[in-house]
Structure 1
Amino acid sequence: MMTNKEIVIASLNLLSDKKKMNEAEISKYFSQNYLQIVDGKSLDYDYKAFVQHLAALAEHTEAIDIEIEAIVGERE
């Protein structure tokens, strides 16, 4: 079983890898009830639209580099 920290890292790695990003993989890390908040505002779309948003990001970006400087996992 993955720790909370490992889950966060795996989900971010998925989002930075166009070849692996698909709805089946996304559903491993994001609930159908996932709610995204940007700049203090809730994005008004459902899970399918969120998946489409990720696909559009992947299509329009050449590469995404993610560097994690620190991460905190509760109860670990």
Structure 2
Amino acid sequence: VLPHPPLLPEYAAQAPYNAVLVELLDAPRIRLVGNVVAAPDAPLNSVDPARLRIGAPVRVAFTEVDGVTVPRWLLERS
């Protein structure tokens, strides 16, 4: 999903950004939300939305944002 307008005013500078739901391969009933980014500390808009596809393999990268550790997702190379 590409929220437009951004969900919160604080994210307006990073629009367009993605918000994704990731299903874990080892536990398909567990799903996590986050953003697909180019690198763990990259901005939320660092991946071109045209590169995103349903079912694309990703791997997690944990990043600290304002003192909270959050999961972000990196596209796996195919």
TM range (shorter): under 0.3
* TM-score, normalised by the number of residues in structure 1: 0.24
The structure that is helix-richer by fraction is 1
Larger RCO (alpha carbons 8 Å, 6+ apart): 1
Structure possessing the higher radius of gyration over alpha carbons: 1
* TM-score, normalised by the number of residues in structure 2: 0.23
